[in-house]
Each structure stands twice: as C-alpha cells, then as structure tokens.
Structure 1
C-alpha cells in the first residue's frame, strides 16, 4: 500500500514538473512572438513589455490551477475560491471603472491603433483641442508634449472615444 502511495506522489511530482515546464515554454514562445510582432509592426518596446506581463500572469495562473487539480484539490473548493476572488475583484474594478476601461483601452491601442511614440496628434473636441507629440503610451495614460513644452496626460479610454488627427514621423 505504501508503494502505491509513493508511486502516486512521484507521478504527481512528475506531472507538476511537466506542467511547469510547459508553462515556461509557452511563456517563452509568447515573449518571442510578441517581439516578432513588435519588430514587424514597429510597436514600442514598453507596449510589448506590458502585454508580456499580462500574458505571463495568465499563463502562470493557469499553471497554478492545473497543478492544484493534479494534487487533488476539490473542484468545488477551487471554484468557490476563484469565484469569491473574482467577485471581490469585480467589485473593486466596478468602483474604479475608469481604471479597468483605461487598461482595456491601453491593450486596444497596443494591438490596433495607428499612432506610436513620436507621432504628433490632435485630440479633436468641441471647445478645446489638445495637440502634442506622443512621449509615452502606458497602461493607463498617453503622455503628450505640447508645443509649449508642457506634458499632458490623457486617459487611454479618451483616446478611443475622441476623434484624433495625427501626423506620423
């Protein structure tokens, strides 16, 4: 009986090592793919770093869940924990909805938007247009440098909601 238990512990250990190795290989593949996309489409390095962090977080969270199942964590208990965590996270994001929308907008700007750092844009509004050179595109804000050498930060969600006129370098 003891030999059977040792066999299953050894088997679970081997399975866990395989899952960790596959997760690491998947992360390496994702990083190389993002680097190739950056080079192909001319994205800035800081944009790729942000997306890479998010993908890495998702991959390793998945690895932890799979290893939990390997070691016999009850699905109901794991589901209860995950649903409780997501509920608390959802309430926190609902209270800070603009933060969530800015992160999402930042991802959209990274993947599918024609401007990049160094481009000059004008955000077209009714009364007050804002013009400047893009100095940084972060997870939450785009930073512009105006002709008066002032730095203006604009939430990513605003960039997606407004009409933009841009001049690429």
Structure 2
C-alpha cells in the first residue's frame, strides 16, 4: 500500500541518496588527498570525513522531507524549534563547538604537523614542545621534560606560534 502510494517519492529518494553517496565518496577522496598531501594523520582525515558525511545525511533528510510533500512553513516551524533548543543547549557548550570548528580549520590550513617542535607565545603559559597528536578538541604537546600538555584547538589558532624544528620526533633512524 505505502509503496504503491509513494512510488514516485521513493524512487526520487533512492536517486537522491545515490547522488549523495557519490558526492560523499568524491568528498572523501578529496579530503583524503588533501590530508595526505598535507601530511595529516589518518585519524584526523577520518574525523573530517565523518563530519562531511553527517552534513550530507542531514541535507538528504531535509530534501527527502520536501520530496514527500512537507510544506516549507512546516519545515521552518520544525527547524526553528529544533534550532532554538539546540542553540540554548549549545550556548552552554560553545567552547566545545569552538574547539571542533578549530579542529576542522586546522585540518585544512594549520601549517604545523605532528612531530614539529613549536613555541606557543602565550603570556600566561608559554609552551615549547613537540606536537605529538592533533585531535578534534585539542593538541597533545610533549614538553622537553616528558610531560604531556593538552592545548585547546581554539587557543592555538588565537596565539602566535613559532616553528622551532620541523619533524623533531626522533624515530630512531639516522639521516644519511
């Protein structure tokens, strides 16, 4: 019954999701290529691919709602209500969102990589360390004394940073 009634809408939805899957595939390839060309580790590449996939699924759900005849005024009411609730909730966790957004920005334009020794010019907490890992929320920095410091992504984009030594991690291989 349902399939017969909504045959056209179901076919359009299947075509839409096929197109979105192809777009996701192409986007994933592009993100991997950019990430590998920039020397970014695989964990960060997969995180950005996951963000892109979730965005495409949300867009797909919105378009499917339109395909099945949902009126724009109804969608506007639902989205304004949802965004009001989300906005209030997110205001409480804005720093987390700021760090995630900074992590995405750093994926595409951060000039320093894992293994680089950097100096962060923070007047309250100056840091000179090796970047051990770049995560969604923070950088893991290894100090000369062996201590691990986690530094929020949003702060690293706000502070001046100096590259002291490129790829300072000693991997045990001697250069010839």
TM-score normalised to structure 1 length: 0.90
Residue 13 in 1 paired to residue 15 in 2?
A: no
- Cα displacement (A) at 1:106: 1.1
In structure 1, the partner of 2:170 is none
Runs of 4+ in 1 over 4 A off after TM superposition: none
* Residue-by-residue CA offset, 1:38-57 (whole Å, 9 max, x unaligned): 22222221221121111101
**Distance between the aligned counterparts of 1:128 and 1:56, measured in 2?**
37
Residue 27 in 1 paired to residue 16 in 2?
A: no
In structure 1, the partner of 2:151 is 154
Higher helix share: 1
* Residue-by-residue CA offset, 1:57-116 (whole Å, 9 max, x unaligned): 110111111111111122222211111111222222222221121112111111111111
- Cα displacement (A) at 1:126: 2.6
Runs of at least 5 residues in structure 1 that lack an aligned partner in the other structure: none
* Residue-by-residue CA offset, 1:14-41 (whole Å, 9 max, x unaligned): 1111011111111111111111112222
Residue 144 in 1 paired to residue 141 in 2?
A: yes
Moved more, 59-68 or 95-104: 95-104
Over the aligned positions, Cα root-mean-square deviation in angstroms equals: 1.8
Name which of 30, 44, 49 aligns with 1:47. 44
Runs of at least 5 residues in structure 2 that lack an aligned partner in the other structure: 168-176
